[in-house]
Amino acid sequence: MSASPSAAAHAALKPTGRPIRRVAILFAGGPAPAANAVISTCAASFVNHDVEVVGVMNGYSHLVEFAPDHPMQEGRDYVILDSKKLRRTRNTRGIMIGTARTNPGKDVSHPSHIADPKRTVHLRTVHEALKSLGVDALVSIGGDDTLKTANKFKLFQDALPAGEKRISVVHVPKTIDNDYRGIDFTFGYFTAVETLAEEIRNLLADAEATRGYFIAECMGRSAGWLAYGAAIASEASLVLSVEDMTGDLATEETLTDPKTGVATTRKIMNVDKFVDSIVKLMLAREKVGKEHGVVVVAEGLAGFLPSSYLEGVKFDEHGHISLAATNLSQQIVKLVEKEYEKRTGKKRRMTPVQLGYESRCALPHAFDVMLGSQLGVGAYRALAEQQYDGVMISTTGQLSLTYVPFSDLIDPETLVTVVRFIDAGSDFLRLARLLEGSQNS
């Protein structure tokens, strides 16, 4: 999908007419490099135009705790972002207002649920908490789950009786996974790629010195952008992600619910073929005198493991499988070691490594600071200049700002977002496959 909204959606972007005198900014989900570039530049844009900025601490976690006997407290639940606090913060690590994964929209999964006061109780609490702060708008910064929450918050307000206060909401897309529909590249992606690529380069040197292999598991829950980017930049030996779960690498399994007796079929990894592809790589490299390498795998592949590999795995508040707990790289190492020894009669040193957390708060690169800053400015322009409500801030070309309606990004029935995968046959994917044949790595 293009970063620009459709013609029909663009026509629907009409000013609300709501003046912005005080605005709240919150960040939710996992950290990403250049988070402070977004927050700082967004806040500074409002402050420079005499709009007071409230930095909500730790995502929605404090907002959902609001009650008449537990009001929002400055210093604990929020801070005022003024010029003094914002000074020289754009290029810093971390998230100046913290983050959390609290999900106030978790009980809303269909538009009809908006009319159910029990399902929307947390959204109402957030609304009351923000009203108590006297804000006219909310800038939401986060991943696809946070975008879903922003959309549900808007839908909740759309259903309020006439005369009730509406708080305009815009969203800034954040994920080092870069799997966001509606924008070409998300802030922090390139910094994360470079950070992980440097780690993989170190592993390559180690592998060559010790005549061994590393299976490097990279973050990337739904798509392979991070794994592929890090593999390309580091000259890794092979990269495999969820986009590769096609052809003979994929199969299916049918599971029957013991309580209901209902059978469901899911797409899974053909483990034997997957292991075979790695062993074949190792044997091919040995023929040209290379007894080492690094294979990069995206953590999202864990979701394609047969059910027998996933027993006891937990799920988070957003319903996602705990990928770190599956130990994907460790399971792959055991399988590949066994198959390699079976075919060759010899052992090969293999080590599993999980990569990702070290990249989330890395010092942001210049491009991510530029992109994050522009997205922060875009949030200001969307709210204060355009007076929009319910749009995601995006860029295209030479960081030209565009505003994509939530309705262009979210399924109207399920209220979930659509993952942006690497297109099959794309030049980006072809680049990775071409470089895998390089004799330099």
Q: Quick one: pLDDT at residue 2?
A: 41
Angle ∠(214,217,218) on CA atoms, nearest 5: 130
Indicate the domain borders of the chain.
7-186+364-408, 192-359
Give the bridge partners for 393, in sequence order.
403
Query: Which strands sit side by side in the sheet containing 168-173, from one edge to the other?
Result: 78-80, 52-56, 22-27, 137-142, 168-173, 391-396, 400-405
Question: Residue written as tokens 């690498």?
Answer: 249
Q: Quick one: pLDDT at residue 10?
A: 55
CATH fold of the domain at 192-359: Rossmann fold (3.40.50)
Q: Quick one: pLDDT at residue 437?
A: 57
**Predicted structure pTM score:** 0.91
Q: Quick one: pLDDT at residue 40?
A: 98
Q: Quick one: pLDDT at residue 320?
A: 57
Residue-wise DSSP of 291-303: --EEEEEEGGGGG
Scored b (16 or more CB within 10 A) or e, 271-291 reads beebbbbbbebbeebeeeebe
Q: What is the CATH architecture assignment of 7-186+364-408? A: 3-Layer(aba) Sandwich (3.40)
pLDDT along the chain (441 residues), means of 10: 47 85 97 98 98 98 97 98 96 97 96 97 98 98 96 97 96 95 96 97 97 94 93 95 94 86 89 96 95 95 88 60 74 96 95 93 97 98 97 96 95 92 91 73 64
Q: Quick one: pLDDT at residue 119?
A: 97
Indicate the angle between helix axes 144-158 and 121-132, nearest 10 degrees. 80
Give the bridge partners for 79, in sequence order.
55
Give the bridge partners for 53, in sequence order.
23
Rounded CA separation 143/214 (Å): 30
**What pLDDT, in 10s, does the model give residues 427-438?**
999 898 888 755
Q: Quick one: pLDDT at residue 3?
A: 41
**What pLDDT, in 10s, does the model give residues 272-307?**
999 999 999 999 999 999 999 999 999 999 989 988
CB atoms within 10 A of CB 162: 4
> What residue type is assigned to position 81 of the chain?
L
Q: Do domains 7-186+364-408 and 192-359 have the same CATH topology?
A: yes
